[in-house]
Structure 1
Amino acid sequence: MLTITGYSVEFIKDPFGILAGKRYEFLLDIEVPDDDELYSESGLYIRVIYLVEEGRTGIVKYELYERNKDQYLDFDLEEEELQLVDAFCKEHVQEAEA
């Protein structure tokens, strides 16, 4: 199971007004156990695009990266991990408005 150790969140501007709702970009620093297939000595982070729309919120897209190399990793999170990330983003999304 992953642990979120740090994060940043930023509002993504839609200058043309094409997209419904508001989108936010989260960069989540994570740690995973060293026996996990995702483990990397250089560290990991998840880039999450998060949607806030009237009556609904959720993850639009996420990508895993190796921290020091900024190298994309082609892995999917497990369902419990996705729920953890979604709950974390939902709890912290208002910080981008501050």
Structure 2
Amino acid sequence: MIDITAYSVERVRDPFGILPGQRYEFVLDIEVDEEDEIHSENGLFVRVIYAVEPERTGIVKYELFERTTETYLPFDLEDDEVEAIDAFCRDRLSEADGNG
């Protein structure tokens, strides 16, 4: 399981109105168990694109990175970890610039 230790959120601007609904970018600092395959001594963060549309709300895409090198890590999170991140983001949408 992952622990979210810090985060930032920002509304993604769509000046041309191409995307339906709103998009938000979350950057989540995470900690994982040392025995987890994605563990890194340099720390980890997850970049999440989160959509709020009339038909659905949720994660569009997420990517894992090593914190100090900002190296992309080609790993998938477990389903329960994705669900936890989804709930975390949904609960903090009002903190995004221009949304509340």
Q: Distance in 1 between matches of 2:19 and 2:3?
A: 31
The residue aligned with 2:49 is 49
Q: Distance in 1 between matches of 2:43 and 2:18?
A: 35
The residue aligned with 2:88 is 88
Letter in structure 2 aligned against 1:78? E
Q: Distance in 1 between matches of 2:52 and 2:45?
A: 22
The residue aligned with 1:20 is 20
Q: Output one character per residue of 1:15-58: Cα deviation in whole Å (capped at 9) or x when no partner.
A: 11000000000000000011111100010000000001124210
Computed over aligned residues only, the root mean square deviation of the Cα atoms, in angstroms, reads 0.8
The residue aligned with 2:6 is 6
The residue aligned with 2:29 is 29
Letter in structure 1 aligned against 2:81? E
Cα deviation, residue 11, structure 1: 0.3
Letter in structure 1 aligned against 2:19? L
Q: Percent identity?
A: 60
Give every structure 1 segment of 4 or more consecutive aligned residues whose post-TM-superposition deviation is greater than 4 Å: none
Q: Unaligned regions of 5+ residues in structure 1, if any?
A: none
- Residue 61 of structure 2 aligns to a residue whose secondary structure is strand
Q: Report the TM-score when normalising by structure 1.
A: 0.97
Q: Distance in 2 between matches of 1:55 and 1:89?
A: 18
- Residue 92 of structure 2 aligns to a residue whose secondary structure is helix
Output aligned runs, 1:47-86, within 5 Å.
Answer: 47-86=47-86
Matched pairs, number: 98
Q: Unaligned regions of 5+ residues in structure 2, if any?
A: none
Q: Distance in 2 between matches of 1:75 and 1:92?
A: 25
